[in-house]
Structure 1
Amino acid sequence: MGRYSRRFDRGWSRWRLAGFVSGLVLVIVALSGPVSAFAHADARGHMLQHLLIGMYAPLALVMSAPVTLLLGALTPRAGRRVGAVLHTRALRLLGHPITAAILNVGGLNVLYLTPLYAASMQRGWLHVLIAVHMLAAGYLFTWSIAGPDPAPHRPGLTLRVVTVLAAITAHAFLGKLLYAEAGRLPPGTHYPPAQMEQAAQWMYYGGEIAELVLVIALFMWWYRHPRTTAAAAEPRRPVQATAVPLPGMR
Structure 2
Amino acid sequence: MHNHHHVNNGMNHEFVQAGLVLFFIIFILLYVLAVIKNNKHRHQWPSYKTLYWILGVLCSAVSMIGLLAEKAHVSFIAHMTSHLLLGMLAPLFIVLASPVTLFLRSLSVAKARLLTSLLKKKIMHIFLDPLVAAILNIGGLWLLYTTDLYMLMHQYIWLFIFIHLHLFLAGYLFTTAILSIDPVIPKNHFWYRSLVLVMALGSHGILSKYIYGHPPEGVPQKQAESGSMLMYYGGDLVDIVLIFLLCLQWYNASRPRQYPVSQ
Residue 96 of structure 2: which of 28, 46, 63 is its match?
63
Structure 1 residues 125-164: aligned runs within 5 Å: 125-164=158-197
Corresponding residue of 1:192: 220
Corresponding residue of 2:38: 4
How far the C-alpha of 1:5 sits from its partner, in A, is: 2.3
Alignment RMSD: 1.3
Amino-acid identity (%): 33
Structure 1 residues 70-149: aligned runs within 5 Å: 70-149=103-182
Structure 1 unaligned runs (5+)? 228-250
Amino acid across the alignment from 1:141:
F
**Is 80-89 or 163-172 further displaced after alignment?**
80-89
Helix, strand or coil at the partner of 1:190: coil
How far the C-alpha of 1:2 sits from its partner, in A, is: 3.6
Corresponding residue of 1:28: 61
| TM-score for both structures, normalised by structure 1 | 0.85
8 A contact 2:130–2:193 mirrored in 1:
yes
8 A contact 2:76–2:223 mirrored in 1:
yes
8 A contact 1:38–1:46 mirrored in 2:
yes
How far the C-alpha of 1:219 sits from its partner, in A, is: 1.5
Task: Tell me how far apart the structure 2 counterparts of residues 207 and 160 of structure 1 sit (CA, whole Å).
Answer: 18
Count of residues in Structure 1 that have an aligned counterpart in Structure 2: 221
| TM-score for both structures, normalised by structure 2 | 0.81
8 A contact 1:65–1:147 mirrored in 2:
no
Alpha-carbon distance change, 151 to 72 in structure 1, aligned in 2, over 3 angstroms:
closer
Alpha-carbon distance change, 59 to 44 in structure 1, aligned in 2, over 3 angstroms:
same
**Is 26-35 or 93-102 further displaced after alignment?**
26-35
Question: After superposition, what is the alpha-carbon deviation per residue over 1:197-246, rounded to whole angstroms, capped at 9, x for unaligned?
Answer: 0000010001001111111111122233338xxxxxxxxxxxxxxxxxxx
Amino acid across the alignment from 2:192:
L
Helix, strand or coil at the partner of 2:198: helix
Task: Tell me how far apart the structure 1 counterparts of residues 183 and 83 of structure 2 sit (CA, whole Å).
Answer: 27
8 A contact 1:168–1:211 mirrored in 2:
yes
Helix, strand or coil at the partner of 2:116: helix
Amino acid across the alignment from 1:219:
C
8 A contact 2:104–2:112 mirrored in 1:
yes
Amino acid across the alignment from 1:223:
Y
Task: Tell me how far apart the structure 2 counterparts of residues 54 and 28 of structure 1 sit (CA, whole Å).
Answer: 12
Task: Tell me how far apart the structure 2 counterparts of residues 152 and 197 of structure 1 sit (CA, whole Å).
Answer: 38
Runs of at least 4 residues of structure 1 off by over 6 A? none
Alpha-carbon distance change, 203 to 152 in structure 1, aligned in 2, over 3 angstroms:
closer
Structure 2 unaligned runs (5+)? 1-34, 256-263
Corresponding residue of 1:237: none
Mapped pair 1:46 → 2:79 = yes
